[in-house]
Amino acid sequence: MVHFAEQRSAPYSMIDRKHAVFTQVNNVVGTLNVLFGIREFLPDCHLIKLGTMGEYGTPNIDIEEGYIIVEHNGRKDVLPFPKQPGSFYHLSKVHDSHNMMFACKIWGLRATDLNQGVVYGTMTDETALDEALINRFDYDDVFGTVLNRFCVQTAIGQPLTVYGKGGQTRGFLDIRDTVRCIEIACHNPAARGECRVYNQFTEQFSVLDLAHLVESSARKLGLAVEIDHIPDPRVEAEQHYYNAKHSKLIDLGLQPHHLSDSLLESLTNIAMKYRDRVDASLMLPQVNWREPKNDRRMQMSMPSRSSAPEQRADLAASAGAKAKKG
């Protein structure tokens, strides 16, 4: 059983109490229902669940794949790696992980927790067969991913918005590798009573690294790109150590697709092709981690190229005020 049925956005979970409660109830209770269903109806089923690298946070030590060997006061044990989640969404994933480990322990279930990094790309071999199968390209401040946002901002002539210093470093992977990792987990099931954890990513980048990569790729396409540093709406380290292990899926046969100039150009060209559908007002962050309630403006109109600089300035000022308010 492959379980992806969860609210997937950290900013969404931080909008206000209602969104935080929905995220945790939907994700935690939903996964509990799945675990009880497996125990009652198909106890030998192998559960493959999507977790997140965000469960770990950004510790000042290497991140292991789910478990760490600890020596303390002369004794030694293998324990779940310490979790430092950065949002109510990431907390829901931590709760899921603990519930899965507990269910495997008491009921002898089989589970694989795929702690996934940030996904980029839009095409797999199957979706490339026909344009009608085109994938989602989320770019907004709540559901969008950073590389998608940068490519869309390049396409519509907006500066690339880097939160804070831009040293926030995360694991990334191509969508083709996401699909392959799930396939590998399916073909190599966990043992009875085992809750194993795979760190599902292939490369590490900082946000500023990605901005410079997109800038360089855009220049080759004849597009001028600026990079803007704006106040970070999240409560996170803007520069930090980050080294996460990710060898288990590679050992099982994953052959990674690394981020290349050709893929960046492809993403930018997709954004260029569909830029008439872009709502430029949804780029800048409207959810401030420091506030218990955020009012998101839904301006569903695309500013003209001539008015875009003025609107960007207004939005940037608003975002800055929200971040400074905390």
Q: Which residues are annotated as catalytic?
A: 52, 89, 93
For residues 243, 265, 4 and 82, what is the CA-based torsion angle, rounded to 10 degrees?
A: 10
Sign of torsion, CA 85 88 89 91? positive
81: DSSP letter: P
**Dist. CA 136–CA 56, nearest whole Å:** 27
**Dist. CA 295–CA 325, nearest whole Å:** 14
In the structure, how many helices (H) and strands (E) does the chain have? 10, 11
Phi-psi domain of 33 (left: phi exceeds 0; alpha: psi -120 through 50; beta: other): alpha
Sign of torsion, CA 84 88 89 91? positive
End-to-end, the C-alpha distance of the chain in Å comes to: 42
Burial of 243 (0-12, 13-18, 19+ CB in 10 A): exposed
Cα angle, residue 167 at apex, residues 162 and 170 outer, rounded to 5°: 95
Residue that has been written with the tokens 């979790």 in this structure? 83
DSSP code string of 249-290:
HHHTT-------HHHHHHHHHHHHHTGGG--GGGSS----TT
